[in-house]
């Protein structure tokens, strides 16, 4: 039914409800447009412009090669080379000139000059209570080669470089300043114990012979006590003192081997006798 007067037009109302409403043009266009991004404010000063620039890409630098490994290698090479040369000279030293050669005589002359500078040599040489002489100065020249201490042990390479004897005429003590060469080593750089014993025997016997009226004698007993190594190529001092109770045919002598600064390396004590049934040649005073 359609009401015409003062009421709703049912048909008109129904048709108006079914028709879609039109969206205003300006509203539809605004809905389809995207929102523009907000713009950043520009910096106002020059410094801020530079600070706002994007960071530059870093340039990869090639690391420099350090010289430290080469320096260390050079240092250790030099140390090894020096140590090797030293060890070689100690374990296998060069051959020393034979006794009596031109080179040996030059070495002996050099050692004589060096020994004269030693304080003990200067002190005893100027003391009137001490009589000094060169060892074996009484031995004839042809016989020197046949003696142990002047033949095989002669020359600067052994004990022939310097050996001066000082005898105290009041106490009977004997002080010997001696050179130990490089050819008498047992262990590298250390004097052979047998050579040390031979020298101590001879110097203590020298002290005993001066006490005997016959000026001769032999070793009956010898005791040695090794305290410190006796190094080669060095000067040493050997002291020998006659003990009380000396007779015409028997007597004890004590002695010690010292460094120049007084450190005792070897202690010794020997008994010396003059045989009754054996005629021995006199060794004289300057033995």
The residue that leads in pLDDT, 47 or 132, is 132
User: Distance between the two ends of the chain, CA-based, in angstroms?
Assistant: 175
Candidate from 42-51, 84-93, 143-152, 192-201 with smallest mean pLDDT = 42-51
Separation CA 159–CA 202 (nearest Å): 13
Mean pLDDT of the region 25-54: 54
Mean pLDDT within 130-142: 88
Name 223's bridge partners.
Answer: 269
Q: Residue 197: exposed, middle, or buried by beta-carbon count in 10 A (0-12, 13-18, 19+)?
A: middle
Query: What does each C-alpha distance from 281 to 138, 146, 154 come to in angstroms?
Result: 13, 16, 23
CATH homologous superfamily of 101-273 equals: Hotdog Thioesterase (3.10.129.10)
CA distances from 252 to 151, 242, 270 (A): 28, 6, 6
User: 205 near 219, Cβ under 8 Å?
Assistant: yes
Which is more confident, 29 or 285? 285
Mean pLDDT of 234-247: 96
Lowest mean pLDDT among 58-72, 97-111, 153-167: 58-72
Can you tell me which residue has the tokens 């005997």? Answer: 212
How large is the average pLDDT for residues 229-251? 96
Q: What is the mean pLDDT of residues 236-248?
A: 96
Residue 215, CB-side half-sphere exposure with 13 Å CA sphere = 7
Provide the pLDDT for residue 38.
59
Which pLDDT does position 61 carry in this prediction?
Answer: 67
Residue 72's pLDDT band, with cuts at 50, 70 and 90, is: confident
Does residue 22 surpass a pLDDT of 50? Answer: yes
Q: What is the pLDDT of residue 40?
A: 58
- Is pLDDT of 126 > 80? yes
% of the chain residues with pLDDT over 90: 54
Whether residue 98 has pLDDT greater than 70: yes
Choice among 12-26, 123-137, 208-222 with the minimum mean pLDDT: 12-26
Sheet holding 218-226, edge to edge: 130-134, 163-168, 174-180, 234-242, 250-258, 264-273, 218-226
Residue 7 has pLDDT above 50, yes or no: no
pTM for this one? 0.69
pLDDT of 183 above 60: yes
Q: At what angle do helices 119-126 and 102-116 cross, to 10 degrees?
A: 70
CA neighbor of 177 nearest in space, from 239, 242, 251: 239
Averaged pLDDT of the chain: 83
pLDDT above 70 (res 45):
no
In this prediction, residue 90 carries a pLDDT of: 59
What is the rounded average pLDDT of the residues 244-272? 97
């Amino acid at each position: 039914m359609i009401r015409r007067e003062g009421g709703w037009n049912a048909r008109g109302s129904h048709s108006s409800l079914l028709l879609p409403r039109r969206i205003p043009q300006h509203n539809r266009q605004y809905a389809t447009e995207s929102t523009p991004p907000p713009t950043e404010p520009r910096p106002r000063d020059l410094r801020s412009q530079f600070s706002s620039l994007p960071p530059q890409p870093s340039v990869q630098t090639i690391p420099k090669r350090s010289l430290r490994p080469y320096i260390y290698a050079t240092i250790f090479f030099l140390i090894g080379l020096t140590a090797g040369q030293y060890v070689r000279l100690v374990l296998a030293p060069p051959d020393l000139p034979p006794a009596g050669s031109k080179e040996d005589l030059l070495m002996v002359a050099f050692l004589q000059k060096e020994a004269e500078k030693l304080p003990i040599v200067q002190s005893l040489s100027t003391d009137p209570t001490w009589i000094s002489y060169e060892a074996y100065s009484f031995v004839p020249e042809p016989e020197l080669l046949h003696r142990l201490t002047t033949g095989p042990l002669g020359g600067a390479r052994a004990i022939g470089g310097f050996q001066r004897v000082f005898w105290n005429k009041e106490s009977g003590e004997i002080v010997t300043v001696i050179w130990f060469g490089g050819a008498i080593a047992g262990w590298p750089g250390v004097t052979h114990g047998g050579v040390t014993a031979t020298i101590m025997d001879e110097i203590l016997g020298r002290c005993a012979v001066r006490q005997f009226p016959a000026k001769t004698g032999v070793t009956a007993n010898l005791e040695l006590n090794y305290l410190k190594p006796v190094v080669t190529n060095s000067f040493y001092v050997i002291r020998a003192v006659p003990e009380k109770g000396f007779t015409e045919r028997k007597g004890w002598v004590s002695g010690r081997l010292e460094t120049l600064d007084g450190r005792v390396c070897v202690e010794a004590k020997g008994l010396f006798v003059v045989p009754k049934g054996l005629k021995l040649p006199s060794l004289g005073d300057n033995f």
